[in-house]
């Protein structure tokens, strides 16, 4: 019996409810607002969060919630859901079909369940602590590709990259020279799910928020991969700097980030 199955099943239901709604509204006329210079929020982000949080709290009314679009009162529960209702909002708002809902669960501060749902491909990535990672029910494992020069990596850039020198540009150049290729697809949660699935060999990014990574970090770990901070030390989801990989190229990625660091302090 999977200890966290009860929670996983409700997270799957919540992600599918939100994902179906996202697909239905995709490419329709949307109410879009700016949160910052570049950072958008749409009515679909807000409604997706309402649907996900509504479902989870109807099942687990005492649990805590951390989510992107609202601040929730802290209840002091052992359980905390960490939710990105739409990861890939820029894509969504521009009609670029690459986005997902991401839901992670912490128990006593430790990730124990994660769901990432891509409604366009109908791909459901799930993981529970100690029980493995799955894509539509089929067990996942990270790739066996190495060294770095043979690999495909994912990354992204912070919304304030025009004004803050911590912009990922130096690292991007360093990896573009040393890996086979880099994809900047615009949804960090899916990047992590793709590392878990062996479709990407590694991923790094800075200034990510807990909701961008909670579910994806568990997926990568449960698929046999490695997740650390940029300096190789243990990762927690409140640290914005993440390196996730198949493990085989992890040291090379950490070394490359250190090399590039002087340009990005
Ligand atoms: C963003 C995406 C993007 C990453 C940004 C995130 P959002 O999340 O994950 O890939 O580069 O840093 O903020 O705004 O689409 O939920
Ligand atoms: Ca996000
Ligand atoms: Ca989001």
| Share above pLDDT 90 across residues of the chain, in percent, rounded to a whole number | 89
Which of 156, 183, 185, 192 has most ligand 1 atoms within 8 Å of CB, for mutation?
Answer: 156
Looking at every residue in the chain, the average pLDDT score rounds to: 96
Question: How much distance in Å is there from the Cα of 89 to the middle of ligand 3?
Answer: 6
Contacting residues for 215 by C-beta, under 8 A, at least 6 apart:
82, 102, 103, 104, 114, 115, 116, 125, 127, 189, 192, 193
Going by CA atoms, what residue is nearest to atom 16 of ligand 1? Answer: 87
- Is the pLDDT score of 265 beyond 50? no
- Is the confidence at residue 263, as pLDDT, over 70? no
- pLDDT single digits (tens) 61-112: 999 999 999 999 999 999 999 999 999 999 999 999 999 999 999 999 999 9
- Looking at domain 5-139, which of 3.40.50.261, 3.40.50.300, 3.30.540.10, 3.40.50.1820 is its CATH number? 3.30.540.10
Looking at the chain, the domain(s) classified CATH 3.30.540.10 span 5-139
Instruction: Read off the pLDDT of residues 8-59 as tens digits, 9 standing for 90 and up.
Output: 999 999 999 999 999 999 988 789 899 888 888 999 999 999 999 999 999 9
The pLDDT, as a whole number, for residue 28 is 86
In angstroms, what CA-CA distances link 155 with 7, 120, 127, 176?
A: 30, 21, 22, 11
Inform me whether the pLDDT recorded for 264 exceeds 90: no
Give CATH for domain 148-262.
Answer: 3.40.190.80
Q: Are 73 and 111 in contact (CB under 8 A)?
A: no
List residues, by chain if needed, whose CB lies under 5 Å from ion ligand 2: 84, 87, 212
How far is it, in rounded angstroms, from Cα 242 to Cα 208? 8
pLDDT at 108: 98
Q: What is the phi-psi region of residue 173: left when phi exceeds 0, alpha when psi lies from -120 to 50, beta otherwise? A: alpha
Span 231-251, pLDDT tens digits: 999 999 999 999 999 999 999
């Amino acid at each position: 019996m999977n200890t966290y199955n009860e929670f996983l099943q409700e997270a799957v239901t919540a992600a599918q409810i939100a994902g179906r709604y996202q697909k239905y509204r995709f490419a329709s006329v949307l109410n879009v607002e700016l949160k910052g210079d570049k950072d958008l929020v749409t009515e679909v982000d807000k409604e997706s969060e309402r649907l996900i949080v509504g479902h989870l709290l109807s099942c687990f009314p005492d649990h805590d919630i951390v989510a992107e679009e609202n601040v929730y009162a802290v209840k002091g529960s052992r359980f905390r859901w960490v939710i990105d209702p739409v990861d890939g909002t820029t894509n969504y708002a521009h009609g670029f079909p690459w986005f997902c809902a991401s839901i992670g669960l912490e128990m006593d501060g430790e990730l124990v369940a994660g769901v990432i749902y891509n409604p366009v491909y109908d791909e459901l990535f799930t993981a529970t602590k100690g029980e493995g990672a799955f894509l539509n029910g089929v067990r996942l494992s990270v790739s066996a590709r190495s060294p770095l020069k043979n690999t495909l990596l994912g990354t992204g850039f912070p919304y304030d990259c025009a004004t803050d020198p911590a912009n990922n540009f130096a690292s991007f150049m360093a990896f573009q020279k040393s890996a086979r290729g880099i994809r900047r697809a615009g949804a960090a949660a899916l990047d992590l799910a793709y590392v878990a699935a062996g479709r990407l060999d590694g991923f790094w990014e800075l200034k990510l928020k807990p909701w961008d990574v909670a579910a994806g970090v568990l997926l990568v770990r449960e698929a046999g991969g490695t997740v650390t901070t940029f300096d190789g030390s243990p990762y927690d989801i409140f640290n914005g700097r993440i390196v996730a990989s198949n493990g085989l190229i992890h040291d090379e990625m950490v070394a490359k980030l250190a090399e590039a660091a002087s340009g990005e302090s």
